[in-house]
Chains A and B, each alone.
Chain A
Amino acid sequence: CSDSDLGPISLNWFEELSSEAPP
């Protein structure tokens, strides 16, 4: 695997997933 296989990376992954996930 190379890093490109990991897909687009977000530094704010935790905040973004928290806003997307059901409460």
Chain B
Amino acid sequence: NEAEQSTPVLFDGLTEENLQFVSKLKDSSSSCAVDVSTVWWEAAGCRELCVVTACENSVSLWKPLAPDHWGKVYTWQLGEIPVIQIIPLLDTCNLICIALGNLEIGEIRLLLYSSENDSFKQSLVKTGNIKAVLGLKDRRLVSSSRSMQEQEVEVVSFSETGRSKHGQTLMPPEETVLAFAEVEGVKDALVGTTAVNSIVVWNLKTGQLLKKMHVGYSYPASICHRAYSDSGLLFVVLSHPHAKESESCGNPAFRVIAFNPKTARSTGVIFSSLPPGHAGRYVEGEVKDALAAAVLSSGAIAVWDLLLGRCTALLPPGPAGGWALVRWGAAGAGLLAGRGDGSVCLYRYA
């Protein structure tokens, strides 16, 4: 039934299904999925790609038991502060990072397994009025936080066993940083988008703030999802939750902009708009490589090929309710889609 309920709708005469239902996880004890992610987990010498689901007051780890079947390994119970998001830590094993808070992030915690005393543990990484956080390569975490007038942008490193090591401070811009993205192709380069719609560029090694570039007024509150450098240009993938619909671009969800970091000038490269005739707006989404996925206000999930600037699949809300969140799994794990009832469906994208 689930597969029938969640059959992707295809556009533009595509002849093969590129989004296929694989399996479903349902935590009977939870009522609402807050976030979902994948994590490498090693136990008894076996390293597997597992799924992590977060509810308001708990986070569960699921391992593959048989093809398309998942079993819960462990559930971390959190305190009174609700979980807001899972923060994927790239190229790590047995480490899960989560953000907790009410309207904003107030706490970042690490969930882990300690082989020393054979137990699942959690540890506090950071507290504060945290505006944005991103997991970086080499077991690092960058965050922006506000205290009174000042903004702090800090990088924290972890050891393999999850111990926090020295933190490094990056020079903060005047405006609040709302999202980060590592720059592919340039080691030590990091970009961020700010509350006044600027792109800022840092040198992670020295902490220098290298450049500030304005995105433009047509697309307020842009959020950076991905950045890469090619041929001397900095390409940034942005989402536009508050962009206005236009005749030329339709209702844009994602946009790729090329910046010349030397001159701060920019040009739009490609727009990825909502499917034609589809009412609603971009609510939240994620980008992985050249693929973007977003939950729309209609409760549907749309997938775009950013190189083509075209929507390639649409998951309708279905009788079980609208989709609430969408994430890309690591290592070709496909698309993870969560509903308000706490269920998470896995789809293969090919």
Contact = CB atoms under 8 A, between A and B. Distances in A.
Interface of A: 1-3, 5-11, 13-14, 16-18, 21-23
A14 B231 contact: no
A21 to B, nearest CB: 5
Contacts of A11: 231-232
12 contacts: A3-B267, A6-B263, A8-B262, A8-B263, A9-B231, A9-B260, A13-B261, A14-B183, A14-B261, A21-B203, A21-B210, A23-B208
A1 B203 contact: no
Contacts of A16: 262
Contacts of B206: 18, 23
A22 B265 contact: no
B160 to A, nearest CB: 29
A21 B209 contact: yes
8 interchain residue pairs of minimum CB distance: A7-B263, A1-B267, A9-B232, A6-B260, A17-B210, A13-B261, A21-B208, A11-B232
A17 B210 CA distance: 6
A1 B265 CA distance: 10
B211 interface: yes
A21 B208 CA distance: 7
Contacts of A9: 231-233, 260, 262
B189 interface: yes
B208 A22 contact: yes
Given A14-B186, A14-B189, A7 B210 contact: no
B208 to A, nearest CB: 5
Interface residues of B, number: 25
B64 interface: no
B268 interface: yes
A17 B209 CA distance: 9
Given A2-B267, A6-B267, A13-B260, 17 more contacts: A1-B266, A5-B265, A6-B258, A6-B265, A7-B263, A8-B263, A9-B260, A11-B231, A14-B183, A14-B188, A14-B203, A16-B262, A18-B208, A21-B208, A21-B210, A21-B211, A23-B206
The majority secondary structure among interface residues of chain A is loop
A5 to B, nearest CB: 6
Contacts of B263: 6-8
A22 B232 CA distance: 22
Nearest to A8: B262
Contacts of B229: 13-14
Contacts of A7: 260, 262-263, 265
